[in-house]
Structure 1
Amino acid sequence: MNWLAIETSGNAASIALQVGDRIESDVLGTGNAPASGEVLAGIAALLVRAGVTLDQLDGIAVGVGPGAFTGVRVACSVAQGLSLAKGIPVVPVVSLDAVAQSEPADAVLAVLDARMGEVYWARYRRDAGGLLQREAMGVCAPDALAVPDDVRWTVCGAGFTEYREQFSPALLAQLDTGDITAIASAAQLLTWRAAMQVEAVAPEALAPCYVRDKVALTTAERVAKALKA
């Protein structure tokens, strides 16, 4: 099985290629989302290095966010173009799911930096089949984040490290620490896809996962935030 993955929703954009059991990945850069041309050039180089052609791909796993507005649109548009041109199946992967799936706990809280002083979060429970299933997802200020108190939760994701001082004492008291350096990566998308065995979607149905309507602060809000700091 040959699978390509594209993850550009966060601060570190990456692509990965799985050939059999081997996964090889490249980081495309940090900071701003890469342009679609840069992603396509990276994919071409990765395929050449592995000796695989587009026609030999069995599918593409795509990080659909939540994350940077431009980044998730780049990943989706590149995957759609390749899928339509070559008939390659595409599988959307929520970035928080990819971060959470490596945690062995029965209750997991994944947290990523949403910028604008907020975090993306998702809660997961392990089911009878031993797989983490997402039960809720959202975006909020760190001090507004809460989890049910019926169990202890294992927190993962670099958003927890970024905003640790802003989470409430009540929340911190309910948490055990997992991989709090984790960010969504293309290699994680491939691991998640293999574990979940989800079906592909039609390329025209591939779309970013948005959990917030507002994508930028106003000038007045940026000034107020700077003065508060």
Structure 2
Amino acid sequence: MLVLVLDSSTPAVTAAVAEVTDGGVAIVAQRRTVDARAHGELLAPHVAEVLAEAGVRPGELTAIVAGLGPGPFTSLRVGLVTAASMAQVLGVPVYGVCSLDALGRAAGAGRVLAATDARRKEVYWATYADGVRERGPEVARPADVGVTAERAVGEGAQKYADVLGLPVDGELLYPPALHLAELAAGRVRDKAPTEPLTPLYLRRPDAVEPGARKPALR
């Protein structure tokens, strides 16, 4: 079964084609570009490139897997809107995965903190034991995270390593497409119904609607 994997929860714009079989999950083709300001410009071309490299027509896809974040409002919305739109057009189910869970799963054994950059001098974070989430996801200033872990992963952990006080795996900064696909593989094999893609924003966007005008003083 061929699956399109998308994630735009971090500065990394990720698209991949994965093959899900009874024996496991393998990445057939993938693209990742780290550019926090170009999610809207890069994601669609990346999708076209991985499909072409894999020799897969859109109609051959079995499902779409999307990273739900947590992540900044604008970038996260790009991936989720793309995933939902393609799934609707192709008539295939779409499944959401917490993007931090992919980092935690990729980190493997031990107690791990996964943290991505939430901007405003904050991080999105969760903790994992042997790849299984124990706490989170949450958003906080690095100094307020205050968890016990053996090491950390994610670009947020790298950015604030001095504050977190944990060794950081510099090779594992962004949610890997393989592990996003693995987290949804059971649903793909079971042909589970499509899911609503509920983004993990964890806080309100910077832009808000203006409030009502205050009455003029008399």
- TM norm structure 1: 0.76
Counterpart of 1:102 in 2: which secondary structure?
helix
Query: Equivalents in 1 of 2:184, 2:167: separation in Å?
Result: 26
Give percent identity, aligned residues only.
30
Give the aligned CA root-mean-square deviation in angstroms.
Answer: 2.4
- One-letter amino acid matched to 1:70: T
In structure 1, the residue matched to 2:157 is: 160
What is the alpha-carbon distance in structure 2 between the residues aligned to residue 160 and residue 38 of structure 1?
A: 25
Give yes or no for the alignment of 1:210 onto 2:201.
Answer: yes
Flag structure 2 segments of 5+ consecutive residues without an equivalent: 21-25, 208-218
Q: Which residue of 2 aligns with 1:184?
A: 175
Q: How far off its partner does 1:201 sit? A: 5.6
Report how far residue 166 of structure 1 moved.
2.5
The match for 2:138 is 138
CA contact (8 A) 1:97 1:134 kept: no
Structure 1 residues 109 and 22, CA, compared in 2 at 3 Å: closer, same or farther?
closer
Residue pair 1:158, 1:180 contacting (<8 A) in 2 also: no
The alpha carbon displacement at 1:42 in A equals: 2.6
Aligned partners of 1:208 and 1:176: how far apart in 2? Answer: 29
Listed as ranges, the matches of 1:1-229 within 5 Å are 1-19=1-19, 21-35=26-40, 38-126=42-130, 132-147=132-147, 152-167=149-164, 172=165, 175=166, 177-178=168-169, 181-194=172-185, 197-198=186-187, 202=194, 205-215=196-206
Q: SS at 1:101's partner residue?
A: helix
Please list every run of at least 4 consecutive aligned residues from structure 1 whose deviation after the TM superposition is greater than 6 angstroms: none
Report the CA distance between 1:60 and its aligned residue. Answer: 0.9
Kept in 2, the 8 Å contact 1:13–1:28? The answer is yes
Give distance in 2, aligned partners of 1:2 and 1:10: 24
Q: Contact 2:73 / 2:205 at 8 angstroms: preserved in 1?
A: no
Q: Deviations over 1:147-181 (max 9, x none)?
A: 25xxx5332222111012233xxxx3xx5654564
In 2: Cα distance, 1:41 partner to 1:181 partner:
24
Size of the aligned set, in residue pairs, is: 199
What is the alpha-carbon distance in structure 2 between the residues aligned to residue 201 and residue 54 of structure 1? 19
Distance of 2:171 and 2:87 partners within structure 1: 34
